[in-house]
Amino acid sequence: MVNMGCGMRGSLKWWVWFLIGLIIGGTLSSGIYYFLQSPVTAARLEYVGLIELSGTIAYSESPLTLISGNVLTPSEVEQLVRQVSSDPTIKTVVLVINSPGGSAAASEEIYSMLKKLSEEKVVVSYITEYGASGGYYIALPSREIIASPHALTGSVGAVSIILNFKELMDKLGVKAETFKSGRLKDVGSAWREITDEERSLLMSMIDSIAEVFKERVREHRGTKIKDYDEVFTARPYTGVQALQAGIIDGIGSIDDAVKRACQLAGIPEDSPRRWIRPRAPSILELLLGGGTSEQAMKLNYEVLLMWPLPSILEPYQITTFSYE
């Protein structure tokens, strides 16, 4: 009888602990479930990524880096895009653009990166002060483009500048001779008068690059633009004018752009924000990353998607169509 009583007490104790375990487990499971489903937790898992795209668009070796205090390079943008693409908590992206444009080739490369990003996540562009020419070009793949009412945008076209020093050289008594394998090898030379044939050739190159820009605008803006003939004069617009012309989708503040991005992505409008900015150069990079004197000796001729042109640009011949 004693042994039976001990067996019953042992069996009862086992069932008590089993029931306690079920209660504790159920309570924890319910708590975790409701915690994960709560609005606060959901918001923590759904971020708005704000990518800062500021400065003149150029490659690091471009002479534009000498005349522009802040430069936006394709390699820099690639790092930012990779960071956003690999983060599953970033549900939507706002491109915060402040750029007058710059190199046509660099603008195209950045455009391609952002177009790929827009296929992965909901992307909205916000133009703060400048989003002109190349700055507008890189905004095109976005689901929507919003600008400050006072922002300067548009300027759909390409430009190039060639300086001629022949008259000055004649006054100084300096003569330059060029040895070339073909009559157009030194097209755009600053040491002699440009010919009508060269003018036609260079204009055809500008038109070709501008046509790619126009095609991008037609592809992404479609029927939103009311008068393509006016837009393709390459004129700039204020934010208010740009909305009337159909080259952007709205005017407002950065908060409005974030709110719209959240709406398009289907996440709470008060979702937390996470700024994605270029990495600041280290002290060692600032000390050793010069190359300025070598770049200053180069005279590159570069086709630009840029407005306005910096006045200090005059000492340079600006094309990328050359072998150095």
237 assigned to some structural domain: yes
For the chain, what is the mean pLDDT?
81
322 assigned to some structural domain: no
Q: How far apart are CA 128 and CA 294, in angstroms?
A: 34
Question: What DSSP line would sit under 35-66, residue for residue?
Answer: HHHSHHHHHHT-EEEEEEEESEE--TTSTHHH
320 assigned to some structural domain: no
Reduce the DSSP state of residue 76 to 3 states and report it: helix
- Who contacts 44 (Cβ-Cβ below 8 Å, separation ≥6)? 272
Does the structure show a pLDDT above 50 at 9? yes
Range from 6-15, 16-25, 141-150, 152-161 carrying the lowest mean pLDDT: 6-15
What is the pLDDT confidence band of residue 134, given thresholds at 50, 70 and 90?
very high
Catalytic residue chosen out of the listed positions 68, 99, 107, 133: 133
Q: How far apart are CA 254 and CA 95, in angstroms?
A: 10
68 assigned to some structural domain: yes
Question: What DSSP line would sit under 188-236, residue for residue?
Answer: T-TTSPPPHHHHHHHHHHHHHHHHHHHHHHHHHHGGG-S-HHHHTTT-E
Q: How many domains does the chain have?
A: 1
- Known catalytic residue at 30: no
Q: Which amino acid would we find at residue 241?
A: Q
Catalytic residue chosen out of the listed positions 13, 180, 185, 224: 185
Does the structure show a pLDDT above 50 at 232? yes
128 assigned to some structural domain: yes
What is the Cα gyration radius of the chain? 29
Output the domain CATH number for residue 211: 3.90.226.10
Residue % of the chain over a pLDDT of 90? 56
Give this prediction's pTM.
0.77
Q: Name the residue range of residue 163's domain.
A: 47-280+292-313
- Known catalytic residue at 116: no
Does the structure show a pLDDT above 80 at 198? yes
21 assigned to some structural domain: no
